[in-house]
Structure 1
């Protein structure tokens, strides 16, 4: 989740850009940079640094930028290319600079066309094609705005773009699609751009939250907006007054914000990886699957639950044996390792100590390794032979939400990639799986009234002696994850169980003060799970049923949409369980984002 800041005006621009980027640190980044252009000299000074913004500050300590000019800045969260100064933004052409959030899906095709024309690329990023494409169009048209307009029309993917050029030294060109971008004008005519409200607060009172496929050009005291080559007049909205509130984008907690942004994040995870009914991982060579007859997944906590869910998919779809290990157990059990195993480690931070040690064991045993991770250049990413980044952006809430969603989604795509490689999935089956994949952003979009309903019923669950979360098949790992979410932030005792295990001991705990959260998907073993729930009801257990079908015996019921694929039900139920834990924790007065005794990245045993 990169951050963008832009400015046109007379203030000291370096300090304004860096201050704005600091307000966006919560979005996560691994490198940063800025470019400043003086209108009169037309010189563009640019600086880049890897790591914290303090490194960029150090690089620019002897630089000042008083007087009128334009400036753009960026904090980068790597998706294409390692976090290096070369890959950091802004990216440079012959006479222009660009910053970009998002993913350009067709950058390879654009790059190949430009390389044939003699354009030299220096970075590994998708972003660099934007500035070279713009300059290519400018050389043809000699019209700056038409060149920018043509550039935007040729991009496929998600983007928030700011571009400055010596050919128009007093202007910033901007465009937005599927990635947030705000533009504001101060009372004195200054223009400020940002990825969120926070950097703009104190500089302007109101601004425009750009709609998708809006683009335009800004100069001092003037902003022109366009869609489909036609001038538009977008709505101007008041900006919030509190910076902390702005960072949370109006939500009470970062965890709540992260639950709601899952639809956008999942779209970014899919971006460029699903094309023409195929799965593409540009970072993964098919050789990783060669001679593999077993999948071993190793992880901790939430990532372990993602692996468990994926194990069902590997065996069902890829027709390959799959097992899941808890990393803290695996590292000490002296496991017998099959040389033909693909060893997959899953970690949000890439620094999880037990998972890192498990990866070292697998590598030393000569196994092929693959890391599913959210943080490029982390310890696990550097050690693993193969890496797929989940693109979730920083997750500030300690209890994982969007990281879990993107892990499951990424593993599902790996399953389909492997199935295709092994030729065990028909074209029609693959087409249906991909159709379901592309439906997930909609499945995790939160319906009107859902959170209000969960808030109302959450008062029923504050007092009792515990919770059972139950499900079958892939919904068993989801039940484990739902129980973990509740434990982490409410401090109430909760356990996840396979529904069929109730009669093998746990049902002894059932009474009117034991709450059961029953996952009843219509696509997967509905009647079997329903029977297990009826056994609990018969013993006066309090039941919340989550299902597309009404369940008359339940004390509470949350209806989900009717889907024809289990994973769509899985993801819709996932969101419900996350909100359920959130609302109970809020009612109990807990710190949702920083639950007691827990840390975001577990770097010790």
Structure 2
């Protein structure tokens, strides 16, 4: 999703902003821009497409000396991806950048137009800068005008504003979208994620919803909370490791992150399994006396939630519901006060999931967040948190985040099983043994990728893909289809294998590619029967299985395992590599697929 970077200081501001925005490229964007003010001249630059287009436009521009700068990468919501709609947006003497959505922008726009203000873009963001300048005509100070402006905004926003009316000042505000402030001496850095701040600051302040304020070139920083009282929050230490920003010899971040899964799985499990005991690093009072689990998420995280629903009901014998966060928000859900409400998000800023969490908390439910980003909005709001410890994931199509989400949810299912006494000692021991073996399962040889690359030449034509699986391999089929859609732009669907005959099999012919998940540990005979039904209708069958399938047109052999989750994780890697290599053959940008964003901070 959109990225924000701001800077106050004496360094070359163009480079500070461009370097910061590069750290946010993984979030997805379609245009970029920046505004720079040195106390004399207010300049701005915008470009559609990648950051190099913006950099080229600014090649002859320098901005050394004390001053302020703001930069933005935009993922289009209101209005097409054009230079006019790109941020920053200009008033008569001010610039603003903004993440989120101003829900009452039409009302504000109509009000301003009646006052003679002319709008040039299709965006909701433009109302902020015009509203500020409207109030500044009568306010006692620019900061008072900014306060009035922020008080009128409804919805989600993280915003920075610079203006000739207050030279060398950056005004900022945050509500339901992330905003972080770092300081190094008299220099200030602003960002929508901590990634641009690493290496520049030792610590940062993570603003709460409703916070706003200003910073200036004299080293002053004033932050106020939603009640207009001083906000005194201790800074949080930042990581000093920028290793995630390097591809390490891999062609793509996604490829690197697929190979990293063995290591991050070990990190995810570290300290959480002791002998045959599962030790969750949370206050377990949130788990006590629960008679239901509600899992709520979007996209890939939703598929992890579906996977967990099988584990929770099978192992912990607890009623489990799975909700799509964007639907949950508006369905007037009936909530059981004894339910544990679990939200799952890679970024911790997913707008729909965050709002769902707020609904559950307002209804009095205990909440647990499963997240990859510490200090994110969801992490700060939930009653308890299990971090997935996957490290920053820069590929837009999630891989290692999904793997670690499933691992954490499996741990949760086992801890609940122990608390509810639903597994025998031998059954529990079998589960923990399988868990400890997952890092080894995820440690695959490059020969697997080479094999998949060779067979991918078969899949560049045709009219679509069906990914099919049964039981816990059904949500894996959904995830495999999503990975392929995200980066190849080919049509793909995931289905429960047994559902094909209830309609979808009408599409079966030689141009339909079926990716059949055929694990030996889970309903193998049933899954084979479903694959045979498709083969009988001339569908092209790719079998992923430890057992050869005589009707398969392509066969990707997996290892024999005694536990279905070991097969699950090995097949997960195969599906990730399949999507990657098909995308490579099609010549697509694997890490930054079109139209997508990494951190979805709007509805």
* 1:452 maps to 2:450: yes
Among residues 544, 547, 558, which one is paired with 1:546 in the alignment? 544
C-alpha deviation, 1:421, in angstroms = 1.0
Label 1:539 to 1:339 Cα distance change in 2 as closer, same or farther (>3 A): same
Label 1:424 to 1:363 Cα distance change in 2 as closer, same or farther (>3 A): same
> In 2, distance between residues paired with 1:348 and 1:574?
17
Among residues 564, 587, 590, which one is paired with 2:588 in the alignment? 590
Q: Do the aligned residues in 2 keep the contact of 1:294 with 1:340 (CA within 8 Å)?
A: yes
Q: Which residue number in structure 2 is paired with residue 369 of structure 1?
A: 367
Label 1:308 to 1:254 Cα distance change in 2 as closer, same or farther (>3 A): same
Q: Do the aligned residues in 1 keep the contact of 2:467 with 2:494 (CA within 8 Å)?
A: yes
C-alpha deviation, 1:416, in angstroms = 0.6
Q: Which residue number in structure 2 is paired with residue 575 of structure 1?
A: 573
> In 2, distance between residues paired with 1:60 and 1:596?
33
What pairs with 1:2-151 in structure 2 (closer than 5 Å)? 55-56=183-184, 58=186
Q: Do the aligned residues in 2 keep the contact of 1:550 with 1:559 (CA within 8 Å)?
A: yes
> In 2, distance between residues paired with 1:261 and 1:437?
17
Q: Which residue number in structure 2 is paired with residue 402 of structure 1?
A: 400
SS at match of 1:481: helix
> In 1, distance between residues paired with 2:451 and 2:519?
20
* 1:256 maps to 2:255: yes
C-alpha deviation, 1:447, in angstroms = 2.1
Deviations 1:348-387 (A, max 9, x none): 0011111111111111111111000111111111111111
SS at match of 2:317: coil
SS at match of 1:449: helix
What pairs with 1:43-442 in structure 2 (closer than 5 Å)? 55-56=183-184, 58=186, 247-282=246-281, 284-442=282-440
Label 1:76 to 1:319 Cα distance change in 2 as closer, same or farther (>3 A): farther
Label 1:582 to 1:378 Cα distance change in 2 as closer, same or farther (>3 A): same
C-alpha deviation, 1:22, in angstroms = 8.8
> In 2, distance between residues paired with 1:449 and 1:54?
45
Label 1:342 to 1:535 Cα distance change in 2 as closer, same or farther (>3 A): same
SS at match of 1:601: coil
> In 2, distance between residues paired with 1:536 and 1:603?
40
> In 2, distance between residues paired with 1:77 and 1:478?
40
> In 2, distance between residues paired with 1:542 and 1:57?
63
Q: Do the aligned residues in 2 keep the contact of 1:305 with 1:480 (CA within 8 Å)?
A: yes
> In 2, distance between residues paired with 1:301 and 1:123?
32
Deviations 1:321-367 (A, max 9, x none): 01100001111111111111000000000111111111111111111
User: Higher RCO, 1 or 2 (CA under 8 Å, sep at least 6)?
Assistant: 2
Q: Do the aligned residues in 1 keep the contact of 2:452 with 2:581 (CA within 8 Å)?
A: yes
Label 1:274 to 1:509 Cα distance change in 2 as closer, same or farther (>3 A): same
> In 2, distance between residues paired with 1:470 and 1:419?
29
C-alpha deviation, 1:60, in angstroms = 11
Label 1:123 to 1:592 Cα distance change in 2 as closer, same or farther (>3 A): closer
Q: Which residue number in structure 2 is paired with residue 10 of structure 1?
A: none
SS at match of 2:293: strand
Q: Which residue number in structure 1 is paired with residue 472 of structure 2?
A: 474
> In 1, distance between residues paired with 2:236 and 2:287?
25
C-alpha deviation, 1:276, in angstroms = 2.0
C-alpha deviation, 1:286, in angstroms = 2.1
SS at match of 1:581: helix
> In 2, distance between residues paired with 1:480 and 1:341?
26
Q: Which residue number in structure 2 is paired with residue 522 of structure 1?
A: 520
C-alpha deviation, 1:446, in angstroms = 1.7
Q: Do the aligned residues in 2 keep the contact of 1:26 with 1:394 (CA within 8 Å)?
A: no
Q: Do the aligned residues in 2 keep the contact of 1:22 with 1:53 (CA within 8 Å)?
A: no
Label 1:75 to 1:316 Cα distance change in 2 as closer, same or farther (>3 A): farther
Q: Do the aligned residues in 1 keep the contact of 2:346 with 2:373 (CA within 8 Å)?
A: yes
> In 2, distance between residues paired with 1:23 and 1:589?
25
> Mind listing any 5+ residue stretches in structure 1 that lack a counterpart?
1-17, 29-49, 62-72, 86-121, 128-161, 163-193, 199-243
> In 2, distance between residues paired with 1:329 and 1:51?
26
Q: Do the aligned residues in 1 keep the contact of 2:205 with 2:236 (CA within 8 Å)?
A: no
Label 1:442 to 1:287 Cα distance change in 2 as closer, same or farther (>3 A): same
> In 1, distance between residues paired with 2:352 and 2:314?
29
> In 1, distance between residues paired with 2:436 and 2:586?
37
RMSD, aligned CA: 3.1
Deviations 1:424-463 (A, max 9, x none): 1222211111110111111111224100010000000000
Label 1:74 to 1:334 Cα distance change in 2 as closer, same or farther (>3 A): closer
Deviations 1:44-93 (A, max 9, x none): xxxxxx997963475699xxxxxxxxxxx986999xxx9779xxxxxxxx
C-alpha deviation, 1:410, in angstroms = 0.4
SS at match of 1:517: strand
> In 1, distance between residues paired with 2:472 and 2:519?
10
Q: Do the aligned residues in 1 keep the contact of 2:372 with 2:387 (CA within 8 Å)?
A: yes
Q: Do the aligned residues in 2 keep the contact of 1:317 with 1:415 (CA within 8 Å)?
A: yes
Label 1:303 to 1:77 Cα distance change in 2 as closer, same or farther (>3 A): farther
C-alpha deviation, 1:124, in angstroms = 11
Q: Do the aligned residues in 2 keep the contact of 1:83 with 1:377 (CA within 8 Å)?
A: no
> In 1, distance between residues paired with 2:201 and 2:184?
15
Label 1:357 to 1:544 Cα distance change in 2 as closer, same or farther (>3 A): same
Q: Do the aligned residues in 2 keep the contact of 1:83 with 1:376 (CA within 8 Å)?
A: no
Q: Which residue number in structure 1 is paired with residue 487 of structure 2?
A: 489
C-alpha deviation, 1:418, in angstroms = 0.8
SS at match of 1:55: strand
Q: Which residue number in structure 2 is paired with residue 464 of structure 1?
A: 462
Label 1:591 to 1:25 Cα distance change in 2 as closer, same or farther (>3 A): closer
Label 1:513 to 1:254 Cα distance change in 2 as closer, same or farther (>3 A): same
SS at match of 1:433: helix
